[in-house]
Amino acid sequence: MQMLEEIIIAGFGGQGVMSMGQSIAYAGMIEDKQVSWLPSYGPEQRGGTANVAVVVSDKQVGSPVVTKPNVAIILNNPSFEKFEPTIKPGGILICNSSLVTQASTRTDIRIVEIDATNIATELGNARIANMILLGALLQMTNLVKIDSIIESLKKVLDKRKHHLLDVNRTALEKGYAIAQNQ
């Protein structure tokens, strides 16, 4: 069976949108998959809108452009409004319910709402909310392994932030467990 995941991750700059996309792309390469990563920024990087399209496949990727994702991770209301309608029927919507106050009325997609910001704060670092959502994605899609994401973070994160690898692993595992129980 061919594996092809077309993913949109969207939120504000500073929420880790780009690092999530990069981590998935690097992890896919670690696992010998074909990948593409296409970032898109609003006028400001930090605090402006940001989204990234990631394609992971076991076949060559034809285009990095994703217009109808089968998975979307949404971190804010403007991104919800823009990308929720574009998810393919049968796809997955993962929302940070700490920040996304709108609810999808679609019945043709799987919807997972995770209070990621509050859970991350409970874990001691509000900035790992993105990794909780990514952990949920990994559980729901079997896209790549958590170990591959951790290995990819060694490239994505500046060396000064490598001390955060353990807390990122904890966040990934927490998100994975939450999605497993939903």
Residue 95 pLDDT: 97
At 155 the pLDDT is 92
| Predicted TM-score of the model (pTM) | 0.93
- Full domain range(s) for residue 42: 4-181
Calpha distance 98→118 (Å, rounded): 7
Dihedral (Cα; 125, 126, 128, 134), 10-degree rounding: 140
Show contacts of 101-107: CB within 8 Å, 24+ apart: 101/77, 102/77, 104/80
Number of compact structural domains in the chain: 1
Which CATH number fits the domain that encloses residue 91? 3.40.920.10
pLDDT along the chain (182 residues), means of 10: 85 90 96 94 65 93 90 96 96 96 95 96 94 97 95 92 93 96 85
| pLDDT on residue 45 | 52
